[in-house]
Amino acid sequence: MMNQGEIGLKGRIDIQDLKVTFGRKGNLVEAVSGISLHVNPGEFVSIVGPSGCGKSTLLNAVAGFVKPSGGKVLLDGKEIKGPGADRGMVFQQYSLFPWMSVRKNVEFGLKMAGKERNARESAARTLLGLAGLLAFENHYPDQLSGGMRQRVGIVRALATSPQVLLMDEPFGALDAQTRVVMQEILTNMWQRFRLSVLFITHDIDESIFLSDRLYVMTARPGKIKAEIEIPLPRPRVPEMADSAEFLKLRHELHSLIREESLKAMGGELKEGLGGFDTEVGPKGIQALI
């Protein structure tokens, strides 16, 4: 209970009517249009949607890499002005510094915060130990497998004790087996640190397995199409994927996202087909598939 009270204060993300547009006047592309959502402190929230729907743009706005064209992004009530170590970021591509050993990578955020060498070293070794990577602390990233690199990426993001973790399809580049293991590891780490997570994915099973709650986004320009609670109990285990509840959620999400994917593809097809598109709506594509 004490723990719950403590975390009740920090790590709340509020996105209010967020708009992001790219490009210059005359050729504006609206990536994200009027999105409002929130992540409660300690909550695991996923955003699912068809590819190109602006999920990553949304996350980059929270990370501070992208300036909103309208609306606000708040962290614990304060507006986000730029990137910072209060939000740990895990990227889709491998983003470890290739010239630093695994441990130096993990220490990086602490070094930037001005922590002295001994404190950095012991903090990094503790975290690497938790992630089962202590034996590799002196390896270079190029010597690690994809799954290990991404685990180091997560540990590095956690090292500065951020209140929230932002993850942009972090397991997208991994094979299916590694992916499942990584999801379990992530769940364990998240429960241990009790921080808020905003997780971007296009993998429906992944989003159900990990999240407390998830948002479905529409095709570009991205809006929120649905908000879904995941009532599955914790701790989650891979066997749950066979439960009736899981299958029901998966079915529901599949149809929601399928609609949007078809819309997105319909748009692309229309552009590609020029004027001959009258028959090609979602129905027409369904027939093609």
Partner 1 sequence: MNTTTGLLPAKQTYEYGLDHVDALEPMSDPIPERTKRTVKSGDSEVSTRPLAPVRKMLSQWFMANIVKFLLGLLSITLFVGFWYLATKYRWDFYIRFNSIPRPGDVFTEALSLAHQEDFYKNMALSLRRIVLGFGIATVLGILFGLIIGRYRLVHSLLFPILEILRPIPAIAWVPIAIMLWPTNESSIVFITFLGSFFPILVNTIEGVSNQDKILISAARSLGAGEFALMREVILPGALPSIFTGLAIGMGVAWVSLIAAEMIAGEYGIGYFTWEAYSLIQYNDIVVGMIVIGILGLGCSGAIRLMGRILMPWHSTNNGRS
Q: At closest approach, how far in Å is the CB of 34 from partner 1?
A: 26
CA dist., res. 280 & res. 286, Å (int): 9
Strand partners, 227: 215
Q: Is 78 in the site for partner 1 (CB under 8 A)?
A: no
To the nearest 10 degrees (0 to 180), the angle between helices 146-158 and 117-130 is 130
- Cβ-count burial 12-27 (b if 16+ within 10 Å, e if not): bbebeebbbeeeeeee
CA dist., res. 43 & res. 282, Å (int): 35
Q: Is 87 in the site for partner 1 (CB under 8 A)?
A: yes
Which candidate, 109, 114, 110, places its Cα nearest to that of 89?
Answer: 109
Pick 195 or 204: Cβ nearer partner 1: 195
Q: Is 170 in the site for partner 1 (CB under 8 A)?
A: no
Q: Is 5 in the site for partner 1 (CB under 8 A)?
A: no
Given 41, 103, 133, 136, the residue binding partner 1 (CB under 8 A): 136
Q: At closest approach, how far in Å is the CB of 59 from partner 1?
A: 11
Q: Which of residues 214-233 bind partner 1 (CB under 8 A)?
A: none
- How many Å separate Cα 25 from the centre of its chain? 30
Pick 32 or 164: Cβ nearer partner 1: 164
- How many Å separate Cα 47 from the centre of its chain? 7
Q: Is 156 in the site for partner 1 (CB under 8 A)?
A: yes
x-marked contacts with partner 1 along 90-129 as a string, rule CB under 8 A: -x-x-xxxxxx-------xx-xxx----------------
> Can you spell out the DSSP letters for 242-281?
GSHHHHHHHHHHHHHHHHHHHHHHHHHHHHHHTT--TT-S
Q: Which of residues 46-65 bind partner 1 (CB under 8 A)?
A: 63-65
Tell me which residues touch partner 1 (CB under 8 A): 63-65, 82-85, 87-89, 91, 93, 95-100, 108-109, 111-113, 135-136, 138-140, 142-143, 156-157, 160
